[in-house]
Amino acid sequence: MYNIDEKGFMIGVTGRSKRVFSRAQWESKQVRAALQDSSREWVTVVATICADGSTLPLALIYSSANCTLQASWVDAIEASKHDVFVSSSLTGWTINDVGLAWLEQVFNRRTKQKARL
């Protein structure tokens, strides 16, 4: 039995944010939340853990207008040290193609020995 969960992160945005606006905007209720300049990158992390406590490699899904990966996203990944699945989608979330690739390239390969046939 496995639990798979995904969590999206906006790179460069933390839990605390500062808000700068005029008193008139606050009183007219034009502004009530933190503003975002829309220039942040979105990445989703998919984590998988088995009931026996073992884990599968993390999946990183980046947001990309043309669904390609940028070298800067994977420069720090060393194949000999890091075990990770990296992909991209228009939104940065899991989509059918990304999910199927992860199932075939990670889940099926890593769980085949545990599967009962």
Q: What is the dihedral of CA 99, 100, 102, 108, to 10 degrees?
A: 130
What's the CA angle centered on 5, arms 116 and 111, to 5 degrees?
20
What's the CA angle centered on 72, arms 69 and 78, to 5 degrees?
95
The predicted-structure confidence for 30-48, as pLDDT tens digits, reads as follows: 766 655 555 567 788 999 9
The predicted-structure confidence for 84-101, as pLDDT tens digits, reads as follows: 888 888 888 888 999 999
Q: Is 115 left (phi over 0), alpha (psi -120 to 50) or beta?
A: beta
pTM of the complete model = 0.67
Tokens of 2: 């496995």
Q: Is residue 43 within 8 Å of 72, Cβ to Cβ?
A: no
